[in-house]
Amino acid sequence: MVISLRRGEPPRKAIVRLVVAFVVVTQITALAGDLSMAWLVDHYPSLLIALNPRNRNLILVTNQLDPAVYYLVGFFRLILSDPIYYLLGFWYGQRALSWVERRSPTFGPVARDSEKFFKAGSYPLIFFAPNNLICAAAAATGVPLRAFIALNLSGTITRLVLIRQLGAAFQSPITWVLDLIKDNRLIIFGLSAVLVAWMAWQEFRNDPMGLPDELDDDEDQGPDSGAAQQVGQPDAPESSADSPSAPNP
């Protein structure tokens, strides 16, 4: 089974389902990190950023980890899902963006406005904020793979270095926050549980583990069914037979 690397031509559904399953797994691990943050932040700080490397977690644990552990775990976890979202945008274009928008409670509400400005500022956005939507939009709007990789990797390294420097500069306030978390673990866990339950409901209420409608092609059309639609272009117009203006037979 060969994975298609041609723009606008997704592979067979089995491959797409594996890719989507990987996305869902990374989202579940991120939610698990949010849920267990109050306990992991001082007991297993490297596991916390392996589950969810959000900036808040990176700042809280940076002073507890050796540089090698901090950079290796943080780097690989941050870039883990970015190529997957780029691949979805490469295959499906606007349809992938619609799916990412619907699955993203954080960036979904502002996604439409962000897309209007993406082409003008795509490279800085990939460097400074390579979230799921931006990675998919990078491919959907034609950002070359080499440019995406270079910006994504260099931006991720820069982000980790800056957070490490912030951790060293604000060590005392960070220690105070860690002590506050340790003294209020149960309260923070309860608040985290409520927040994670809400986020999980937002993430998975529309399309659980199945293949999303936006990425669901008719298998009867064959493996090249996506070739007619270029990435980032609107869907083909309806046939005259299905058009409301078509005369009745």
Low-confidence ranges of the chain (pLDDT < 70): 1-4, 100-117, 119, 202-214, 216-249
Q: Give residues with Cβ within 8 angstroms of 102, minimum separation 6.
A: 108, 206, 207, 214
Give the pLDDT score at 122. Answer: 85
Sign of CA dihedral 204, 207, 211, 217: negative
Give the torsion through C-alpha atoms of 51, 57, 60, 62, to 10 deg. Answer: 70
C-alpha to C-alpha distance for 118 and 234, rounded to whole angstroms: 17
Q: Which of 95, 98, 97, 108 is nearest to 9 (CA)?
A: 95
Q: Tell me the whole-structure pTM to 2 decimals.
A: 0.76
The DSSP result for 97-117, as a single string, is HHHHHHH-TTTHHHHHHHHHH
Do the beta carbons of residue 22 and residue 207 sit within 8 Å? no
Q: What is the pLDDT of residue 231?
A: 37
Where are the chain's structural domains? 13-208
DSSP string computed for 208-249 = -SSPPGGG---GGG-TTTTTTS-TTSPPPPPPTTTSTTSPP-
Average pLDDT over the chain, rounded to an integer: 79
pLDDT tens digits along 137-186 = 888 888 999 999 999 999 999 999 999 999 999 999 999 999 999 999 99
What confidence score (pLDDT) does residue 223 get? 38
pLDDT score of 120: 72
pLDDT of res. 23: 86
